[in-house]
């Protein structure tokens, strides 16, 4: 392997509480040449909090091939880069996955990718759900329009614990869809604003979702038991 190539570090960052970052993540963010960010403003708050002065570069879902080429050139020049998302682990229901795929295809075995593990919202929610976690299915975000009804209809056919993310704009619609297609006795856990000031855990059954009074503010992880 060519030793002149830079390394790409995949760095998990807190999903809310800034104290949840690991020591290794902080060391990495300090030592690399650049931090690749989903939103530089969000990442800058984290860096400022820990007095890290590493320069940032924007990389998000709308970044084009030129941005990928720019990142590739930095690695070829021997620059070490850290990829972060706004919150959680990069590449998990996150545009960073596409960058990792593009770079591994372009640079093959010349590129060293190093995971710096930490928080992931879906694993955090599973850990407190009390539902079976020896097997689970993670479905990311439901479609916003086309295929949304089919998405929720298919939940009833999955035999493992199911997890998905939902935005505050569509959480109440998701609640209505689950009540329409799932058995009312199905156990459910909805996690809102995990690790943040207004963290809320809703527990109950699909039939009792209306009594949970789920607020349509924040970020959500939904766990459905089987």
Burial of 58 (0-12, 13-18, 19+ CB in 10 A): middle
- Give dist(CA 62, CA 53) in Å, integer: 26
**Angle, in degrees to the nearest 10, between helices 65-76 and 96-107:** 60
Identify which has the larger pLDDT, 93 or 77: 77
pLDDT at res. 3: 56
> What is the domain partition of the chain in residue ranges?
7-116, 121-224
What's the pTM? Answer: 0.91
CATH number 3.30.950.10 is the correct assignment for the domain at 121-224: yes
Q: What is the mean pLDDT of residues 192-212?
A: 93
The fold adopted by the segment(s) 7-116 is Cobalt-precorrin-4 Transmethylase; domain 1 (3.40.1010)
What are the strands, taking DSSP E only, across the chain?
7-11, 34-37, 55-58, 81-83, 112-116, 136-138, 161-167, 187-192, 200-205, 219-224
**Angle, in degrees to the nearest 10, between helices 148-155 and 171-181:** 50
pLDDT in tens, 52-69: 999 999 998 888 889 999
pLDDT at residue 224 greater than cutoff 90: yes
């Amino acid at each position: 392997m060519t030793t002149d190539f830079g390394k790409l570090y995949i760095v998990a960052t807190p999903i809310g509480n800034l104290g949840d970052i690991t020591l290794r993540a902080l060391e990495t963010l300090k030592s690399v040449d650049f931090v690749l960010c989903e939103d530089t403003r969000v990442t800058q708050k984290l860096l400022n909090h820990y007095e890290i002065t590493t320069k940032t570069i924007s990389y998000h879902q709308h970044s084009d091939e030129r941005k990928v080429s720019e990142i590739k050139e930095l690695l070829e020049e021997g620059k070490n880069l850290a990829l972060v998302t706004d919150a959680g682990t990069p590449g998990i229901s996150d545009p960073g996955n596409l960058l990792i795929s593009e770079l591994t295809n372009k640079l093959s075995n010349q590129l060293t990718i190093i995971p710096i593990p930490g928080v992931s919202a879906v694993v955090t929610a599973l850990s407190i759900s009390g539902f079976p976690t020896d097997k689970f299915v993670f479905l990311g975000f439901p479609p916003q329009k086309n295929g949304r009804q089919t998405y929720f209809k298919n939940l009833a056919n999955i035999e493992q614990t199911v997890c998905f993310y939902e935005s505050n704009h569509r959480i109440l619609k998701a609640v209505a869809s689950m009540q329409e297609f799932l058995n009312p006795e199905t156990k459910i856990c909805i996690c809102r604003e995990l690790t943040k000031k207004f963290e809320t855990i809703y527990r109950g059954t699909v039939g009792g979702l209306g009594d949970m009074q789920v607020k349509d503010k924040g970020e959500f992880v939904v766990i459905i038991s089987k």
